[in-house]
Amino acid sequence: MPALSGFADGAYEGQSRIVAGEQSINQFPELVPQGNKARSALYPCPGLPTFATVSDTPGRGAFAHDGRFFAVFGRTLYEFDSTGAPTSRGTLAVDGNPATFDTNGDGGNQLFVTSGGSGYILNLTTNVLTTPLASGANIGGQLDGFFVSLNTATSTMRLSDSLDGATWSGTQTAQRTSASDPWIAMIVARGEVYLLGDKTGDVWYNAGLSPFPLVERPEGFFQTGIAAVYSLTRFAGTIAWLGRTEAGNPAVYMMDGYTPVPISTPAVDWAIQGYDTAVGVEDAIGWSYDRNGHKFYVLTFPTSNRTWAYDATTRKWHQRGYWDSDIADFLEYRPVFHAHAFNRNLVLDSDGFRVYSLSDTTYTDVGGEELRRVRRTPHTSRGNKRIFFHSAELECERGVGQTSGQGVDPLVGLRVSNDGGMTWGASRMRSMGPIGEYTTRVRWDQCGSGRDRVWELWTTDPAPSRWFDFYVESSVGRH
């Protein structure tokens, strides 16, 4: 049987699903070198075992440094040890926005945290929390031993004394003059400070001047702003964010040198534009992590209940989501804010009390809920002639059943649409094989006919789900 072209690929759901309606949800494509059985594979996004539980909610920021892991849940700054045991390090102000972190390293031994418009210093030796900036500290960072703070209300950047986050001189400030749109976002990356307004941005560096050591880099001015302040994050050796130009259309960008380069496809832009028109995208949150040779930028739109993820390794997009069985639909992916600590990728729950660890051997979502994975294929059509589909077969990793409980005989469902993805038939379930039954065939016979066929495969059983090809045996009728 011939393989369906483009089966193991990313998501591309365009303006009309009759033309393009591909989905890859909670799984991502990986290219396979030539000479192997398949050219690409769909691998599962990690499961989410609980690492720690706290009494506050929601997760608002995470940071790891020198073997220590910190996170903000609700009003509380927590530190966690390697077993997940939490210790409160103090209470913070809250304004509905995420918290930010940075440290001045061994030289200052301080952690700088912003939350609720205030700037806090945690002495990493005594674990005493103080508030040197009681107001006007919306976002923080660190450059060459100086803590950097952005006041978004006044578009003012401010520096602490060198290696001393407890002291902030009134002379150590800079205000935007290069463009009329005020700074509303900031990040320190690649040894420089990136400051963005809603239409343009600047790059500043340490020139060693006095009294204020930072200066604007002449070639660092760019004409792309930011549409969601907390979408800005370090990613793949540079930065990524949900941007917006003066023309108005939101898109996802990565910085190449000092040039913002769009990385979102027209299909992703179409989806984001829909969110923007309906409810706005200002509350979108972006975060990133590296795992198994892939570099992911995860962008969640809380009000629209949707999450998209970009893989810099393959330059492909896929979707992530929490399956709500009551409404039979995906909501936004719950993990936010990543930090790598204790040899784990740790993430916070955006709507709960837990820290989760990304796992390749756990196959459940937050709180042990089912983790649903979906692949909706490209269209199968041949000049609008009727096609008779005699059989279909999924090439996947088989014999992956669990030793007990759900998933002993893991199932995958197939449903089809004969109107280009507008309506769907009932699911037909097949086994991927109990443990050790590696020759199981995942096959469906008598698959009907249609002029414009879209296939959808899905699974929720807690078992490995690695899919490579989808074979279809068919013949074309005369009309």
- For the chain, the structural domain boundaries read 12-45+374-476, 50-365
Compute the average pLDDT of residues 316-345: 97
Cα atoms in the 13 Å half-sphere on the side-chain side of 156: 12
**Hey, which residues does 88 pair with through a beta bridge?**
78
C-alpha 403/C-alpha 253 separation (Å) is 45
pLDDT > 70 in the chain, percent: 100
Residues 6 or more apart whose CB falls under 8 angstroms from that of 312 comprise: 235, 236, 254, 294, 295, 296, 297
**Hey, which residues does 311 pair with through a beta bridge?**
296, 316
Contact 79, 65 (CB under 8 A): no
CA dihedral over 262, 264, 270, 275, signed as positive or negative: negative
- For 50-365, CATH number? 2.130.10.10
Taking 90 as the threshold, does the pLDDT of residue 171 lie above it?
A: no
pLDDT for the residue numbered 269: 97
Contact 174, 134 (CB under 8 A): no
State pLDDT tens for residues 401-457. 999 989 999 999 999 999 999 999 999 999 999 999 999 999 999 999 999 999 999
Compute the average pLDDT of residues 322-329: 95
Domains 12-45+374-476 and 50-365 share a fold: no
Taking 70 as the threshold, does the pLDDT of residue 122 lie above it?
A: yes
Residue with the larger pLDDT of the pair 37 and 216: 216
pLDDT band at 318 (very low <50, low <70, confident <90, very high): very high
Q: What is the DSSP letter of 272?
A: H
pLDDT for the residue numbered 423: 96
Compute the average pLDDT of residues 243-270: 96
The enclosing H or E element of 316 equals strand 316-320
pLDDT band at 183 (very low <50, low <70, confident <90, very high): very high
Rg (alpha carbons) of the chain, rounded to whole number: 25
pLDDT for the residue numbered 302: 97
C-alpha 352/C-alpha 348 separation (Å) is 8
pLDDT averaged over the chain? 96
C-alpha 227/C-alpha 339 separation (Å) is 24
The enclosing H or E element of 271 equals helix 266-278
Compute the average pLDDT of residues 330-341: 98
Amino acid at 292: N
pLDDT for the residue numbered 383: 87
Beta-strand pair 387-396/449-450: antiparallel
Compute the average pLDDT of residues 378-388: 92
The answer to whether the predicted template modeling score (pTM) of the entire model surpasses 0.85 is yes
Residues 6 or more apart whose CB falls under 8 angstroms from that of 476 comprise: 382, 385, 386, 387, 388
pLDDT for the residue numbered 170: 84
C-alpha 357/C-alpha 82 separation (Å) is 12
C-alpha 298/C-alpha 211 separation (Å) is 39
Taking 70 as the threshold, does the pLDDT of residue 461 lie above it?
A: yes
Taking 80 as the threshold, does the pLDDT of residue 1 lie above it?
A: no
pLDDT for the residue numbered 331: 98
Which strands, in side-by-side order, build the sheet including 59-65? Answer: 59-65, 68-73, 76-80, 86-91
pLDDT for the residue numbered 132: 96
Taking 90 as the threshold, does the pLDDT of residue 358 lie above it?
A: yes
**Hey, which residues does 51 pair with through a beta bridge?**
none
pLDDT band at 316 (very low <50, low <70, confident <90, very high): very high
Q: How many separate helices (H) and strands (E) can be counted in the chain?
A: 2, 43
C-alpha 28/C-alpha 32 separation (Å) is 13
pLDDT for the residue numbered 478: 67
pLDDT for the residue numbered 2: 87
User: Which class for 204: exposed (0-12), middle (13-18), buried (19 or more C-beta within 10 A)?
Assistant: buried
C-alpha 100/C-alpha 130 separation (Å) is 16
Compute the average pLDDT of residues 352-356: 97
State pLDDT tens for residues 261-286. 999 999 999 999 999 999 999 999 99
Taking 90 as the threshold, does the pLDDT of residue 36 lie above it?
A: no
Taking 90 as the threshold, does the pLDDT of residue 353 lie above it?
A: yes
pLDDT > 90 in the chain, percent: 93
pLDDT for the residue numbered 319: 98
pLDDT band at 37 (very low <50, low <70, confident <90, very high): confident
Query: What Å distances lie between residue 446 and 295, 331, 416, 449, 472, CA to CA?
Result: 41, 34, 12, 9, 11
Give the class (CATH, top level) of 12-45+374-476.
Answer: mainly beta
pLDDT band at 479 (very low <50, low <70, confident <90, very high): low
